[in-house]
């Protein structure tokens, strides 16, 4: 059972968002499919309606408070998992040209079911992030790249910045402790052609603090990056 329209609107309004009836229904369908498919595969540990609304949907939308995505802009979610943050963003910004990339085919199968149910077009890419970043059709092509992952920021930067065009941004979505991670990641960000633009903090009503770190791509990244995952994990930049 999804949460009522008024409750969902009230939750979103805590961060300044408002949605249409059609978008509310899209979120309801997405939540229903997430719970249904989670019984068949491990997509999320968050399955209660209000927790999905806050910790997945609202949390994902926070990126839009701090990153200006141009009309029709290109956006890639690297290691998209069950579609966070990119699916909630696509629901409220249908103009965005979205690419969702993940190494696990079953996750993309779930997302295709979501796309079909919502009647939206999204490019799905089944590949490892460090491999697809070396393909011409993806490398340095996107206005925005993001990852909502538990990896350290210097690791995420190596995976994501190669996808971003010069002038675009990499937006890292982090929890508590982001500032300390950022200090350690600054040399890697510079090496990969990035420059920290803003560090923005938010607080979810019952789920604590969130941080969005926005890195502007100022120069091309060397073709030797990203390295293979073994090297990235064994010797982070």
Our count of domains for the chain comes to 1
Give pLDDT, residue 54.
95
Mean pLDDT for 48-64 is 95
Q: Give how far Cα 69 sits from Cα of 36, 54, 75, 89, 90, Å.
A: 31, 22, 8, 10, 11
The Cα angle at residue 166 between residues 161 and 170, in degrees rounded to 5: 35
The per-residue pLDDT for range 103-158, each reduced to its tens digit, is: 999 999 999 999 999 999 999 999 999 999 999 999 999 999 999 877 899 999 99
Give pLDDT, residue 194.
97
Calculate what percentage of the chain has a pLDDT beyond 90: 89
- Report the CATH number at residue 81: 3.40.50.150
Mean pLDDT for 72-85 is 97
Main-chain phi, psi angles of 68, to 5 degrees: -90, 105
- Mean pLDDT over all residues of the chain? 94
Domain that holds residue 224: 5-234
């Amino acid at each position: 059972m999804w949460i009522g329209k008024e409750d969902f609107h009230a939750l979103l309004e805590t961060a300044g968002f408002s949605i249409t009836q059609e978008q509310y229904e899209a979120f309801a369908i997405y939540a229903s499919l997430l719970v249904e498919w989670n019984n068949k595969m491990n997509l999320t540990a968050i399955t209660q309606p209000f927790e999905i609304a806050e910790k997945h949907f609202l949390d994902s939308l926070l990126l839009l408070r701090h990153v200006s995505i141009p009309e029709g802009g290109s956006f890639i979610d690297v290691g998209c998992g069950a579609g966070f943050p990119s699916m909630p963003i696509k629901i409220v910004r249908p103009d965005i040209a979205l690419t969702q990339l993940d190494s696990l085919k079953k996750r993309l199968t779930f997302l295709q079911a979501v796309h079909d149910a919502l009647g939206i077009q999204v490019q799905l890419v089944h590949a490892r992030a460090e491999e697809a970043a070396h393909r011409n059709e993806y490398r340095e092509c996107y206005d925005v790249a993001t990852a909502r992952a538990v990896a350290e920021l210097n690791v995420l930067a190596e995976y994501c910045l190669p996808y971003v065009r010069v002038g675009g941004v990499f937006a890292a979505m982090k929890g508590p402790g982001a500032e300390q991670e950022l200090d350690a990641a600054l040399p890697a960000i510079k090496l990969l052609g990035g420059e920290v633009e803003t560090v923005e903090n938010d607080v979810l009503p019952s789920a604590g603090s969130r941080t969005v770190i926005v890195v502007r791509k100022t120069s091309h990244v060397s073709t030797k990056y990203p390295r293979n995952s073994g090297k990235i994990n064994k010797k982070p930049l």
